[in-house]
Amino acid sequence: MINNFLGYLHSNVTPGEAGSLIWVTIYVLLVFAGISVGVIFMNWFERKVMAHMQVRLGPMRVGPHGLLQPVADALKLIIKEDLTPANADKIVFWFAPVCVVMTAFCTFIVVPFGRTHAITDMNIGVVFMLGVSSLGVLGVIMAGWASNSHYPLMGSLRSGAQMVSYEIAMSMAVVSAVMMTSMATGTGTLSMIGVVQAQMQQHTWFVFSFFPVGLIALAVFVIAMVAETNRAPFDLPEAESELVAGFMTEYSGFRWSLFFLAEYTSMMAVSSMAVTLWLGGWLRPFPNLLGGRNWDLAFSLVPGLAFLALAALCLFTYTKMPRLKSMRSAALGLGAFASVLGVVGIVMLLPGVRDRVQDIFWFALKVGFFMYLYVWARTTFPRYRFDQLMKIGWKVLLPISIGLVVLTALIGVRQELFALVWR
């Protein structure tokens, strides 16, 4: 039993493939905890980056540089009164946030954080992700309908229309990436792990294969994914200047925070999909070009060193903090945070750990880039009008993405085509 339990650590498959129920449970809990921590961090990060882009400071008072602000906010939300409108459909009203959160987290079943770090490897992983992530809109429509109020209903109607217009373009872009997986082996795959392995075998990330095609496909996917997760500049369902807060208007307290959690989780889900399909998933930079033992060692040291550098940065800020009585607890907190980061960094330098953990680090780094892109776009672009949104979806993205599929197919079989012509 125990040997069976520990034996998994030496195997090179995901817990789902190994069929170990205990490890699957552990992985589910780990992923859930990790994503939740990511959401908490994202809350702080978004406010901070947005503030700096708008030449402000952002949260500064709760903890060092406002690091504890999300915790304080979460506490506030839990304490807040949980209201249900008198004429609301109680059951649907209750179920809507649950539905949204469930679908958002379910997508992470197939997301590969590393070769062994996925809950399971489905042979239809990509389709599963697309399907489950677009189920989230059902929860949004339920929330709008059950609230029995004007603004939420308008918000959810918009959300539904938006989903329909961007789903197809997104799927077509995904199809073009999936077609590329068949280039080296002749058999394509829909498995998320398979897609990354195909990029490894073809010695290139899919952004760069058939040069502009992959890049355009990624661009189409990124625009569609921003629309899909209802984020600015496509945040029409929750446009506060027009619809108060859209489908979330009647929600308060913990239920509202569930919507918040779901929004950021689905942002991470679609980002990790983009990373897996186009940016080489968990692969480190140049896995083939800079191969060999020395390069492997060098790159596996990067995560630990990155954490140590962060710790050093925190310590440096700690020494520069003003020596005030009111700042003492914040300074102590920053020092403690720095030491925690340092310990994590040292643990990640250990030989056994660093080989297993570095995949997660590279994956998280790439996803983090997309999250930054979300925030960046949010501060830069004003919201689109509804007809403009529809126009971009149906008249621009859809033709481009269908063209991409055709183009990928044509380039993929170019040798056969030439053979046909010159015969």
Partner 1 sequence: MKFIEGLKKIFLIDLFKGLFVTFRHQDPNDLVTEQYPLERPEISDRYRGQPRLVKDENGKMLCTACGACALACPDKLIKVGSMRDPETKKKVLTEFDYDMGRCMFCGLCEEACNTGSLKLSRDYEIALYSRDGLELDRKQLEDGTSRKVYDK
What residue ranges bind partner 1 (CB under 8 A)?
49, 52-57, 60, 322, 324-327, 329, 376-377, 379-381
CB of 277 to partner 1, least distance (A): 21
Cβ closest to partner 1, residue 325 vs residue 423: 325
CB of 381 to partner 1, least distance (A): 7
Residues in the chain: 423
CB of 173 to partner 1, least distance (A): 16
Cβ closest to partner 1, residue 160 vs residue 333: 333
CB of 55 to partner 1, least distance (A): 5
Closest to 174 measured CA to CA, from 77, 277, 43: 277
3-class SS string, the chain = CHHHHHHHHHCCCCHHHHCCHHHHHHHHHHHHHHHHHHHHHHHHHHHHHHHHHCCCCCCCCCCHHHCCHHHHHHHHHHHCCCCCCCCCCHHHHHHHHHHHHHHHHHHHHCCCCCCCCCCCCCCCHHHHHHHHHHHHHHHHHHHHHHCCCHHHHHHHHHHHHHHHHHHHHHHHHHHHHHHHCHHHHCCCCCCHHHHHHHHHHCCCCCCCCCHHHHHHHHHHHHHHHHHHCCCCCCCHHHCHHHHCCHHHCCCCHHHHHHHHHHHHHHHHHHHHHHHHHHCCCCCCCCCCCCCCHHHHHHHHHHHHHHHHHHHHHHHHHHHHCCCCCCCHHHHHHHHHHHHHHHHHHHHHHCHHHHHHHHHHHHHHHHHHHHHHHHHHHHHHCCCCCHHHHHHHHHHHHHHHHHHHHHHHHHHHCHHHHHHHHHC
Cβ closest to partner 1, residue 252 vs residue 317: 317
Cβ closest to partner 1, residue 25 vs residue 380: 380
Cβ closest to partner 1, residue 251 vs residue 384: 384
What is the C-alpha to C-alpha distance for residues 405 and 413, in angstroms, rounded to an integer? 13
Structure tokens at 270: 């679609």
CB of 376 to partner 1, least distance (A): 6
Cβ closest to partner 1, residue 48 vs residue 117: 48
CB of 409 to partner 1, least distance (A): 23
CB of 186 to partner 1, least distance (A): 34
CB of 371 to partner 1, least distance (A): 15
CB of 101 to partner 1, least distance (A): 31
For 77-82, the CB contacts below 8 A with 24+ separation are: 77/253, 77/254, 77/256, 77/257, 78/253, 78/254, 78/257, 79/253, 80/252, 80/253, 80/254, 81/252, 81/253, 82/252, 82/253, 82/254, 82/255
Cβ closest to partner 1, residue 92 vs residue 215: 215
Cβ closest to partner 1, residue 98 vs residue 377: 377
Cβ closest to partner 1, residue 41 vs residue 94: 41
Cβ closest to partner 1, residue 294 vs residue 326: 326
CB of 68 to partner 1, least distance (A): 15
Structure tokens at 338: 């720095």
Cβ closest to partner 1, residue 140 vs residue 169: 169
CB of 58 to partner 1, least distance (A): 9
Going from the C-alpha of 41 to that of each of 86, 147, 194, 336, 373, the distances in angstroms are: 35, 30, 30, 17, 15
